[in-house]
Structure 1
Amino acid sequence: MNRILLIEDDIDLAKETSLALGKWGFDVELINNFEMILEEFIDKKPDVVIMDVNLPLYNGFYWCEKIRDISSIPIIFLSSRDSNMDLIMGINNGGDDYITKPFSIDVLVTKLNGIIRRTYKYNTSSTIMYYEDLIFDIEKCAIKYRDKHEELTKNEVRILTNLLKNKDKVVSRESLMMLLWDSDEFVTDNALTVNINRLRGKIKDLGFEDIIKTKKGMGYIIQ
């Protein structure tokens, strides 16, 4: 049974969501002390975090960054705001997905099942991939170039793995969206763009060239 840490200060919504997810076979833990979110995260050891953006004291983006300092566990944001800026902030701060309130429990369950399957059952024949002098450690979710390294989120790992496995071939945006979210029905095109740009930024921060090229109207390629 997969353990979900639900960080939601709307008590009624938290209980309703917890009950619904319980019927789908999830073990849901709720946060009781919003001043000690990081400590409760460490104590409860969840498989996935579902976190509201608007929280007491500090918002969800803040706590996501704190969790990312110690873990690459999947994080799904919930928010009553549907602006592109919130989506961008959520992904840039390390979130793996973003759901706007009010949401369907079926949509949430679909996303949870997909992210759990991809995170904990994602296999590849090798845990190390290379592009010239760039080293990509899939197992450690990190890229390294010379004496520098950058940690990657699960989505960034999947994107880079897929592009390197299809080196010299164009990978369509649609196939990448299916890889990341199973279906493009519940996500925006902008979410993929944010993930791609963040991955490009991390590669650039290492001092390496931009290896992900955009093929307009087609997708992305590494050559």
Structure 2
Amino acid sequence: MYRIYIIEDDDKIGAILKKNMEKYGFEAACATQFRELMPELEAYAPHLVLLDINLPYFDGYYWCRQIRTRSSVPIIFISARAGEMDQVMAIENGGDDYITKPIPLDLLMAKIKGVLRRVYGEYAAAGHDGTAAGVPEAELNAHGLRLHLGRSELVWQIRKAMLTKNERLLAECFMRQPGRIVSREQLLEALWDDVQFVDDNTLTVNVTRLRKKLEELGLPKAIETVRGQGYMFLLRDEQEGSDA
């Protein structure tokens, strides 16, 4: 049974969400220690986190960053803030998706089920930690750039960069098709099961973040925008021959 941890300081909303999660066969728990969430969260060991932004003591962006230092558990933001910048900040701070209040429960459940299928279930390539039991960790290699799927780590020569889940999924799409145009639709489908629910700007934000990680590795122009078509992952000769 999947466990869902609800970080919501409105008791009424938290109770409604918990009841709805249990109705669909999930185990759910609501946060109670808003001054220090991490011990409670780690003890519960959820498979997915629902995270509000407006919280006592520290906001949801802060807690998302704290969670990301220790875990790659999927995080869906739930907030009354409907502005585009709030959604961008949620993704930039490590969130996987965003839904605004009042919460359409059918849409929320569709998003939750989609994330769980992708990360742990029928669409997952391996176990929830990225590796199958007893099987060596999978690795992609594109012209010397290596992606460790289990650790969500990019390695270029002697440099390394840790990726968020969405960054890893994008990197995997690009590295499986080096030198070929990857459409925005392909990338959206890799990140989210139902493209119609996704703000296209969210994809742009994630690609920008991955570009920044590649630049930090010494690959500043590895992802090119192909106007009207998508993106292309390309390592040039001078990059392949560069020193770390």
**What runs of 5+ residues in structure 2 fail to find an aligned partner?**
127-134, 235-244
The alignment yields a C-alpha RMSD, in angstroms, of 1.6
Pairing of 1:1-223 with structure 2 (within 5 A): 1-121=1-121, 122-123=124-125, 127-223=138-234
Q: Distance in 1 between matches of 2:183 and 2:149?
A: 22
Give the fraction of aligned pairs with identical amino acids, expressed as a percent.
Answer: 39
1:148 corresponds to which letter in structure 2?
R
Q: Distance in 2 between matches of 1:175 and 1:157?
A: 15
Q: Distance in 2 between matches of 1:179 and 1:136?
A: 16
Deviation of 1:205 after TM superposition, in Å, equals 1.4
Deviation of 1:128 after TM superposition, in Å, equals 0.7
Q: Cα deviation per residue 1:107-129 (whole Å; 9 max; x = unaligned)?
A: 11111111111112421797111
Deviation of 1:203 after TM superposition, in Å, equals 1.1
User: Is the CA contact 2:88–2:202 (under 8 Å) kept in the aligned structure 1?
Assistant: yes
User: Is the CA contact 2:78–2:99 (under 8 Å) kept in the aligned structure 1?
Assistant: yes
Q: Distance in 2 between matches of 1:103 and 1:52?
A: 12
Q: Cα deviation per residue 1:174-207 (whole Å; 9 max; x = unaligned)?
A: 2211221111221211011011111111111122
Deviation of 1:59 after TM superposition, in Å, equals 0.3
User: Is the CA contact 1:47–1:73 (under 8 Å) kept in the aligned structure 2?
Assistant: yes
**What runs of 5+ residues in structure 1 fail to find an aligned partner?**
none
User: Is the CA contact 2:211–2:220 (under 8 Å) kept in the aligned structure 1?
Assistant: no
Deviation of 1:79 after TM superposition, in Å, equals 1.1
Q: Distance in 2 between matches of 1:147 and 1:66?
A: 27
Q: Distance in 2 between matches of 1:45 and 1:69?
A: 15
Higher relative contact order (CA 8 A, sep 6+): 1
Q: Secondary structure, in 3 states, of the residue corresponding to 1:185? A: helix
| Gap change, CA 1:95 and 1:141, over 3 Å in 2 | same
Bigger Cα displacement from structure 2, 69-78 vs 139-148 = 139-148
| Gap change, CA 1:13 and 1:98, over 3 Å in 2 | same
Query: TM-score, length-normalised on structure 1?
Result: 0.95
1:112 corresponds to which letter in structure 2?
I
Q: Distance in 2 between matches of 1:150 and 1:163?
A: 16
Q: Cα deviation per residue 1:143-163 (whole Å; 9 max; x = unaligned)?
A: 122333221111111111112
Bigger Cα displacement from structure 2, 51-60 vs 153-162 = 153-162
Q: Distance in 1 between matches of 2:231 and 2:119?
A: 23
Question: Larger Cα Rg: Structure 1 or Structure 2?
Answer: 2
Q: Distance in 1 between matches of 2:111 and 2:205?
A: 18
Q: Distance in 1 between matches of 2:145 and 2:61?
A: 30
User: Is the CA contact 2:142–2:178 (under 8 Å) kept in the aligned structure 1?
Assistant: no
Q: Cα deviation per residue 1:15-51 (whole Å; 9 max; x = unaligned)?
A: 0111011111111111011012111111110001110
User: Is the CA contact 1:78–1:98 (under 8 Å) kept in the aligned structure 2?
Assistant: yes
2:117 corresponds to which letter in structure 1?
R
User: Is the CA contact 1:119–1:154 (under 8 Å) kept in the aligned structure 2?
Assistant: no
Runs of 4+ in 1 over 3 A off after TM superposition: none
